[in-house]
Amino acid sequence: RAEEQIMQILWDIEKGFVKDILEKMTEPKPAYNTVSTIVRILERKGFVNHKAYGKSHEYFPIVTKDEYRSFTIKNLLSGYFSGSFSKMASFFAKDKNLNIKELEKIMDEVKEDVKK
């Protein structure tokens, strides 16, 4: 959740120092060192890069929201649903108490996306 929040902020501001990211975070704000650590984790994962100005680093995203979403969903699928999209869809259908009409709408959207 913290990683996603920082990514959202970086996409919004396009680039910034840890203090800039921290400024955009909602209360209660985490410690400066916590944000710095999370940004470096995102950098190791290949989502963020930086430009150094002496000892200061200006961070910026190097993946799009769509690329990040794809990575996150693939991890969700493999970690919680044994890689099965149908298991995940079934879980959310039950969890959100979807009715038949809503499920049919989802199926229609999926079919359209597959055609594209």
CATH number for the domain running over 2-61: 1.10.10.10
**Is-contact 27 37, C-beta < 8 A?**
no
Q: Would you place residue 73 in the very low, low, confident or very high pLDDT band (cuts 50, 70, 90)?
A: confident
List, for residues 83-110, the tens digit of each pLDDT value. Answer: 887 888 888 888 888 888 888 888 888 8
Distance in angstroms (rounded) separating the CA atoms of residues 105 and 20? 41
Q: Which of 46, 41, 75 is nearest to 61 (CA)?
A: 46
Task: Indicate the domain borders of the chain.
Answer: 2-61, 65-115
pTM of the model: 0.76
Q: Is 52 helix (H, G, I), strand (E, B) or coil?
A: strand
